[in-house]
């Protein structure tokens, strides 16, 4: 059986490893023979899952990865480790050691058991905690721990589901996003109005204050940037912001949306959920679940309001039951590529910074129709050329050739994609939704 342990701050390694050994030996002799067919892994774990106050926060609506639910724990009944309790100032137990079996259910049938062992190993009440987990259950166990921490310490910043917290720091300011002023203002107003006025209206009508907006657009037009700026806006207001990404090994799975809704519902604050790439979740298998959620599942109600902002590159792959049925998506905004030379100029200026020269304006009309990410690349590539040329002013020629080079790359790529495309894909365009660019549904 593999045996790992992770270190804790200020651990005294000798004591810690001794306790690990005692526990691992006991597990090998007593636990594994009871369930020899399971492929067990012994891992160091976090004492956050030993605190009964934290475990009480797992209600039926807390759904873990792959749809599992935590169903409680019981002592193993073996006196292998002492049960030592600590309590808070109200007399509630908030720390324990001992040996426990944690149970997880999937629907009503499957039960997975995890053995958790913990003991103090120093006079300073340092605790060492280990879990013996079925190998194939490890990722759900990891999610259980993350969820424990999230419930125990509600985040001050954006909660990230499906990715590393550090991958989504809310840093983008509203000014950095270059879009038509009208569109930018409309989106921000819509978001603000929901919290300031909309929620009260929903409440008066006795319906769940849950509003859903879709941002659609080709890659690189700034949808993720908008999400980031909105998350920052929400955090600054003291709201709960939740970012759901499918860009981790788990991909687009419904339990991520469930976790987001649960966090929103249990937050004491107004909540903003940012759900990237909605289309990826709408696979045949889970579509019905998503439709249900978009209908405004009452079990996830937050009285202070939940606003869900989803993004997609492929509105055509979101079927009509989502797009056109009133109430499932309340509003759709198309985030377009650069629409005119004035915006292209603003974007170039923004990315060239101090190296911007009035003569660069000549390139602006050629940039119309490209997404913001392309213009940023033109600028970045030109600036790297400058370093190679050891120059300190960026001539129009260098900028122009940077543009031509990237344009040629894109054309070559598009041609490649067109020739690779199967004939049946050609019909995709016909089912594209009839939405005005930059407009709302």
Chain residues in the site for ligand ATP (CB under 6 A): 177-179, 217, 219-225, 313, 372-373, 376
Nearest to ligand ATP of 5, 223 (CB atom): 223
Residue nearest to ligand ATP (CB): 372
User: Does residue 104 contact residue 114 with C-beta atoms inside 8 Å?
Assistant: yes
Judge contact between 210 and 296, C-beta under 8 A. yes
Which of the choices Mg ion, ligand ATP, none does residue 376 contact, using the CB cut-off of 5 to 8 A by kind? ligand ATP
Residue 329's alpha-carbon distances to 106, 201, 215, 295, 308, in angstroms, are 30, 18, 11, 9, 9
Closer by beta carbon to ligand ATP, 4 or else 174: 174
* Rounded Cα distance, 438 and 90, in Å: 55
Binding site for Mg ion (CB under 5 A): 223-224
- How many Cα atoms sit within 13 Å of 338 on the Cβ side? 24
Q: How far is the CB of 278 from ligand ATP (least distance, A)?
A: 11
With CB cut-offs between 5 and 8 Å by kind, which of Mg ion, ligand ATP, none does residue 258 bind? none
**Tokens read off for 288:** 């019905």
Q: How far apart are the first and last CA of the chain?
A: 57
Q: What is the three-class DSSP state of 54?
A: helix
**53 binding partner (options ligand ATP, Mg ion, none; Cβ < 5 to 8 Å by kind):** none
Nearest to 284 by CA among 327, 252, 239: 252
The rounded distance, in Å, linking the Cα atoms of 395 and 386 is 9
User: Of Mg ion, ligand ATP, none, which one sits near residue 209, judging by CB under 5 to 8 A according to partner kind?
Assistant: none
Is residue 18 within 8 A of residue 11, CB to CB? The reply is no
Nearer to Mg ion, 224 or 267 (CB): 224
Spatial separation of the C-alpha atoms in residues 131 and 118, rounded to whole Å: 9
Q: Choose between 119 and 274: whose C-beta lies nearer to Mg ion.
A: 274
Task: Look at residue 225 and give the partner it binds from Mg ion, ligand ATP, none, a contact being a CB closer than 5 to 8 Å depending on partner kind.
Answer: ligand ATP
**Cβ closest to ligand ATP, residue 32 vs residue 280:** 280
Residue with Cβ nearer ligand ATP (184 or 266): 184
**Nearest approach, Cβ of 246 to ligand ATP (angstroms)?**
11
146 binds, among ligand ATP, Mg ion, none (CB under 5 to 8 A by kind): none
For residue 280, the minimal CB distance to ligand ATP (Å) is: 11
Query: Which of residues 75 and 439 has its CB atom nearest to ligand ATP in the complex?
Result: 439
Q: Give least dist CB 230 to ligand ATP, A.
A: 12
Query: At its nearest, how many Å lie between ligand ATP and the CB of residue 224?
Result: 3
- Nearest CA-CA partner of 97 in 61, 134, 62, 125: 125
Q: Which is nearer to ligand ATP, 142 or 247 (CB)?
A: 247
Which residue sits closest to Mg ion, CB atoms considered? 224
Q: Which does 270 bind (CB under 5 to 8 A by kind): Mg ion, ligand ATP, none?
A: none
Classify the C-alpha dihedral 409-413-414-419 as positive or negative: positive
Whole-angstrom distance, CA of residue 1 vs CA of residue 32 = 10
Binding-site partner at residue 98 among Mg ion, ligand ATP, none, CB < 5 to 8 Å by type: none
Q: CA dist 157 to 44, 141, 154, 160, Å? A: 27, 24, 9, 9
**Using an 8 Å Cβ cutoff, are 317 and 347 in contact?**
no
Could you say which of Mg ion, ligand ATP, none residue 222 binds, taking C-beta under 5 to 8 angstroms by partner kind? ligand ATP
373 interface partner picked from ligand ATP, Mg ion, none, CB below 5 to 8 A per type: ligand ATP
Minimum distance between the CB of residue 184 and ligand ATP, rounded to whole angstroms?
Answer: 9
Q: Minimum distance from CB of 410 to ligand ATP (Å)?
A: 14
Given the DSSP bridges, would you call strands 210-216 and 127-134 parallel, antiparallel or unpaired? unpaired
Comparing CB distances to Mg ion, the nearer of 228 and 302 is 228
Nearer residue to Mg ion within complex by CB, 81 or 227: 227
**Nearest in space to 368 (alpha carbons), one of 389, 387, 347:** 347
Q: How far is the CB of 180 from ligand ATP (least distance, A)?
A: 10
Using DSSP's 3-state secondary structure scheme, residue 132 falls into: strand
Q: For residue 226, what are the CA distances in angstroms to 171, 232, 318, 343?
A: 11, 10, 21, 17
Shortest approach of ligand ATP to residue 248 CB, angstroms?
A: 15
């Amino acid at each position: 059986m593999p045996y790992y342990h992770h270190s804790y701050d200020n651990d005294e390694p000798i004591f810690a490893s001794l306790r690990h050994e005692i526990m691992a030996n006991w597990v090998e002799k007593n636990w594994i023979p009871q369930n020899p067919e399971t492929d067990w892994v012994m891992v160091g774990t976090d004492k956050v899952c030993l605190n009964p106050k934290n475990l009480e926060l797992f209600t039926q609506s807390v759904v873990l990865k792959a749809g599992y639910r935590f169903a409680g724990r019981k002592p193993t009944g073996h006196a292998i480790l002492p049960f030592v309790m600590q309590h808070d100032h109200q007399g509630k137990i908030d720390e324990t050691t001992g040996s426990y079996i944690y149970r997880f259910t999937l629907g009503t049938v499957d039960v997975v058991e995890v053995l958790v062992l913990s003991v103090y190993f120093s006079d300073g009440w340092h605790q060492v905690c280990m879990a013996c987990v079925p190998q194939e259950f490890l990722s759900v166990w990891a999610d259980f721990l993350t969820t424990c921490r999230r419930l125990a310490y509600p985040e001050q910043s954006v909660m990230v589901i499906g990715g590393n917290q550090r991958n989504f720091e809310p840093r983008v300011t509203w000014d950095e996003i270059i879009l038509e002023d009208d569109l930018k203002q409309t989106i921000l107003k819509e978001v603000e109005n929901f919290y300031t006025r909309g929620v009260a209206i929903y409440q008066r009508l006795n319906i769940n204050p849950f509003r859903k907006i879709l941002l659609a657009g080709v890659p690189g037009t700034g949808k993720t940037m908008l999400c980031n700026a909105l998350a920052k806006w929400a955090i600054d207001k003291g709201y709960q912001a939740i970012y759901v990404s499918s860009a981790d090994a788990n991909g687009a799975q419904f339990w991520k949306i469930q976790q987001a809704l649960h966090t929103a519902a249990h937050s004491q604050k107004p909540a903003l959920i940012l759900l990237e790439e909605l289309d990826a979740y709408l696979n045949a298998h889970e579509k019905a679940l998503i439709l249900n959620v978009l209908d405004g599942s009452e079990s996830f109600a937050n009285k202070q309001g939940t606003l869900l902002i989803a993004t997609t590159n492929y509105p055509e792959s979101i079927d009509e039951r989502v797009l056109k049925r009133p109430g499932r998506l309340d509003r759709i905004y198309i985030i377009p590529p650069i629409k005119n030379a004035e915006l292209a100029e603003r974007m170039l200026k923004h990315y060239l910074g101090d190296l911007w020269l009035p003569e660069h304006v000549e390139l602006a009309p050629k940039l119309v129709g490209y997404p913001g990410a392309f213009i940023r690349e033109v600028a970045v590539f030109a600036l790297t050329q400058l370093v190679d040329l050891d120059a300190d002013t960026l001539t129009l020629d260098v900028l122009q050739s940077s543009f031509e080079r990237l344009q040629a790359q894109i054309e070559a790529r598009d041609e490649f994609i067109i020739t690779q495309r199967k004939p049946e894909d050609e019909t995709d365009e016909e089912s594209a939704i009839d939405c005005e660019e930059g407009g709302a549904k």
